[in-house]
Structure 1
């Protein structure tokens, strides 16, 4: 079985060394960088060599380039790549910032290495399942004035192209399949995130806000919330 590749960015040598060894014991291929700039260099080198990473794990507080700046740089190039933040902080603002960047999870230190392994495995399973769903869809379809290209992760209107993350593409696909229907919030979370826990719920709220902005050029498209029940993707 081919090992799944992890880009780990952690500036604490002892902690990073332990995580790397533990992940490798669990059949991951780990590239470890000790600051954000080194991690970005590794990412660029592997991308050029056509050996892409499957998932990233970023410490938030690092020298030269912090985890947020690193994630932003990588998302701009590979929006489909899932990533997790590690942090010693419990600040609400940091969590929200991570969610807005599209983080798939957020783990507060200290934590057991087993937790990280399980989170990585779960995220990769969801990502692969979502990618398979997208691969099985048609090349493109019309949503009001927009054209959605699920396999290319693009949403187009006129000459404007919005590049989508993998999660955004999965969410649009799910909404389109259930358009003009009231979708239960937990069903939506389990269908796209694979979990209806608190973090997934907050993450979904951030992604819903993004989609509302993406579709704002067509007044006939909206995402309506029914408090305590779910959401409806309204489209012509």
Structure 2
């Protein structure tokens, strides 16, 4: 039998936390359950889990703050946020600080498990050693860095890196909006679509040093990076 994947679950509702823990354990996951953000950070540092499931509203340290602190240590660990919040700016904030997926309460356990497996499969992409070039830009995907000539641009976030990777791989072709939302965000709902638009705008700004590079919005289809 394969070694179980270790998941850190930070959830301050005892009943819900226990339900999630037991459900995941029946799928051969090892679950480290914490009821506040401070304890979760300590457990993360001691146990080095392979995926995080974080409630946003927690005592002592909220999920967004916890994710920021962990992202400063580990740029690649998959993070899923659990929350009752559904405002667009909350969703965008979660993705901006490095979250990979966002599940609104109430949710089904089957949906959570599908999203966990999707992220674990997707995380294999991060092991690539590819360094890509785009004009005078050098994009180091594993290190999530972007250089223009010899000058390093502001560091890329986890989400920006994955989106830029797919844009470059599909250079001068339309990157299908629905496909990339499902691949990187887990689904193509309105909130995720708004989030992706924000990340596209950030990438345009970071690539603006080279006027020959453009990311075009192909209405109704997706985006095209041209050079």
Q: Same fold (TM over 0.5)?
A: yes
Partners of 1:209 and 1:230 lie apart in 2 by 14
Instruction: Provide structure 2 residue ranges, at least 5 long, that are not aligned to the other structure.
Output: none
Question: 1:135-214 alignment to 2 at 5 Å?
Answer: 135=129, 137=130, 140-157=131-148, 158-160=150-152, 162-189=154-181, 192-193=183-184, 197-198=188-189, 200-214=192-206
For the pair 1:115 / 2:111, whether they are aligned, the reply is yes
C-alpha RMSD of matched pairs (Å): 2.4
The answer to whether the 8 A contact 1:225-1:232 is kept is: yes
Question: 1:22-171 alignment to 2 at 5 Å?
Answer: 22-46=23-47, 52-128=48-124, 130-131=125-126, 134-135=128-129, 137=130, 140-157=131-148, 158-160=150-152, 162-171=154-163
Moved over 4 A (4+): none
Partners of 2:147 and 2:140 lie apart in 1 by 8
TM-score by length of 2: 0.85
SS in 2 for 1:77: coil
The answer to whether the 8 A contact 2:96-2:157 is kept is: no
Question: Once the two structures are superposed, what CA deviation does each residue of 1:128-187 show, in whole Å capped at 9, x if it has no partner?
Answer: 2x235x34x3xx233223211123332223342544445433322222222233333234
Question: Once the two structures are superposed, what CA deviation does each residue of 1:52-91 show, in whole Å capped at 9, x if it has no partner?
Answer: 3221111111111111111111122222121111112333
The answer to whether the 8 A contact 1:102-1:203 is kept is: no
Instruction: Provide structure 1 residue ranges, at least 5 long, that are not aligned to the other structure.
Output: 47-51
The answer to whether the 8 A contact 1:86-1:108 is kept is: yes
Kindly tell me the number of residue pairs found equivalent between the two proteins.
Answer: 224
Which deviates further from its counterpart, 57-66 or 35-44?
35-44
Partners of 2:17 and 2:179 lie apart in 1 by 37
Q: 1:93 to 1:151 in 2, by over 3 A?
A: closer
